Amino acid sequence: MRPTAARTALLATALALTASALTACGGGSGSDPDTVRISFKQSTDNSIHVMDDYLADIKKQFEKANPGKKVELVPIKAPDSEYYTKLQQMLRSAKTAPDLVYEDTFLINSDITSGYLKPLDAYLAKWPDWNRFIDTAKAAAKAEDGKTYGVPDGTDTRGLWFDKGIFAKAGLPADWQPKTWDEVLDAARTIKRRVPDVTPLNVYTGKPAGEAATMQGFEMLLYGTEDRLYDDSAKKWIAGSQGFEDALSFVETVYREKLGPDVSTALDPNIQTIVRGDLLPKGKLGIDLDGSWLPQDWLPGSGHEWPEWSSELGLAYMPTQHGQAPGKVSMSGGWTWAVPAKAGNPDLAFEFVKTMQTKTNAQKWYVANSGIAVREDVAEDPAYAKAQPGIKFFTDLVASTHYRPAYPAYPRVSTAIQEAMEGVTTGDMSVEEAVKGYDASLKEATDDQVIEK
């Protein structure tokens, strides 16, 4: 198949990013045995530097506690999809591999299968704090070989954010809690009718939004049906499910009825920044299906300071399709710190992880990043629960959350979902055509490891 102009541009961008990554890493992580090189995802929004500030503080702590040792921070400034491409290029060679990398849990098994990461079990066995981490978080970084390849730095959950001012104008309640998908759509229709100068509902969609479309958007719908992406008992991916079709129909309805952002905005690669930095703070969006981490963009020093957010926004859980038990749904993911297989200083890298993951430092990060604690001792600390509005709401959703089937094929499955979503968002495909296209792509992405519903 000949590449489209968009694909050609994306490939050129990926190659440019890869070239800059190779240059940035210079002589590789082992060129200086006293320096540990840390690569992480830096926000494309220059005003957001939560991770940068946190790591700078850990760097100071580490260098003070380890005289003669140095930390070199190697930020990768790129959107999610380009960050993954660049990181994987770096991991392929000892000349470019850092000593420690920030890995999204959805990609970690793919990198494990590719041989890019080092198992950490020998380190974890000697680290008492590992016993403080909750089992579900540990499982996110465990491969099919039973070994653990990453240390989680928090998790997340997802729900519905809504603007109380817009709801008041629309005659909707300040304590809104929909019980079904139809009630979510009905609220959006009411906003469109009574407050016509705002966007009623945001559901991330399409390939430009990447994993945000798959996880914040589609999977929050699919996992509210009776169906899933993967059959654990059969160990196969699911094709042809009614839940998949219904979830896609919801997305199609949002954009066909013009309840969501303009299609050009919805398919802007910077849509998440637009939502968090413009639409929500400026009272231009009624309902946003999104994650627990949003407040990190609104805290002092973030560049998008919005001290009133906790009084101007309400929170509601995303309901299941028809209100069936358990009545609410959430998806959880998160990121881990992993040691590349070709790292030159893996021992020093894990010492840095241990510094990051003390109870005190972990708690600082959860609060700064609006994350959900994966250490039991932090989750049980009253100071954590009171540190920021919304933390308790999102932490309580862990009881009804779901995790992605993070098998090696998942990144390709996720892309197929995004393509199906984009087709119905633009109107270029009917729901039936998009489902058929997804099923075909699913078989190709998983080497036909598919079960028909």
Does one domain contain both 109 and 203?
no
* C-alpha–C-alpha distance, residues 205 and 266, integer Å: 7
* C-alpha–C-alpha distance, residues 391 and 378, integer Å: 12
**pLDDT value of position 228:** 97
Which of 382, 402, 422 represents a domain boundary (last residue)?
Answer: 402
pLDDT in tens, 262-304: 999 999 999 999 999 999 999 999 999 999 999 988 988 777 8
Helix spans in 171-269 (H):
181-194, 211-212, 220-222, 242-256, 263-266
Does one domain contain both 282 and 311?
yes
**403 has a pLDDT exceeding 70:** yes
Does one domain contain both 287 and 324?
yes
| CATH code, 282 | 3.40.190.10
Does one domain contain both 90 and 193?
no
**206 has a pLDDT exceeding 50:** yes
**pLDDT value of position 323:** 98
pLDDT in tens, 18-28: 444 444 444 45
Percentage of the chain modeled with pLDDT above 70: 93
Does one domain contain both 366 and 226?
no
Which of 360, 387, 402 represents a domain boundary (last residue)?
Answer: 402
Higher pLDDT, 144 or 182: 182
- Count of domains observed in the chain: 2
| Angle made by CA atoms 49, 7, 264, in degrees to the nearest 5 | 65
- The SS3 call for residue 151 is strand
What's the rounded mean pLDDT across residues 402-423? Answer: 93
**Based on the number of CB atoms within 10 Å of its own CB, is 66 exposed (0-12), middle (13-18) or buried (19 or more)?**
middle
**pLDDT value of position 400:** 79
Among the residue ranges 8-12, 64-68, 142-146, 232-236, the one predicted with the least confidence is 8-12
Does one domain contain both 322 and 338?
no
**377 has a pLDDT exceeding 60:** yes
Task: Please name the residue that has the structure tokens 């966007």.
Answer: 199
Does one domain contain both 287 and 415?
yes
**pLDDT value of position 68:** 97
117, 108 Cβ separation under 8 angstroms: yes
Higher pLDDT, 398 or 318: 318
Mean of pLDDT over the chain = 90
**pLDDT value of position 37:** 97
Does one domain contain both 137 and 162?
no
The band of 369, judged by pLDDT with boundaries at 50, 70 and 90, is confident
Kindly state the greatest CA–CA separation across the chain.
65
What's the rounded mean pLDDT across residues 381-405? Answer: 87
N-terminal to C-terminal alpha carbon distance within the chain: 30
Higher pLDDT, 38 or 406: 38
Does one domain contain both 77 and 43?
yes
Task: Please name the residue that has the structure tokens 């914040």.
Answer: 216
Output the pTM of the full model: 0.79
Does one domain contain both 165 and 52?
no
* C-alpha–C-alpha distance, residues 219 and 211, integer Å: 10
Does one domain contain both 51 and 129?
yes
What's the rounded mean pLDDT across residues 34-47? Answer: 89
Of 53, 50, 133, residue with least CA distance to 378: 133
* C-alpha–C-alpha distance, residues 398 and 383, integer Å: 19
Host domain of residue 168 = 158-332+407-452
Of 284, 280, 260, residue with least CA distance to 421: 260
Does one domain contain both 226 and 183?
yes
Which of 402, 424, 439 represents a domain boundary (last residue)?
Answer: 402
pLDDT in tens, 43-98: 887 777 889 999 999 999 999 999 999 999 999 998 777 888 899 999 999 999 99
**pLDDT value of position 29:** 57
What's the rounded mean pLDDT across residues 116-122? Answer: 97
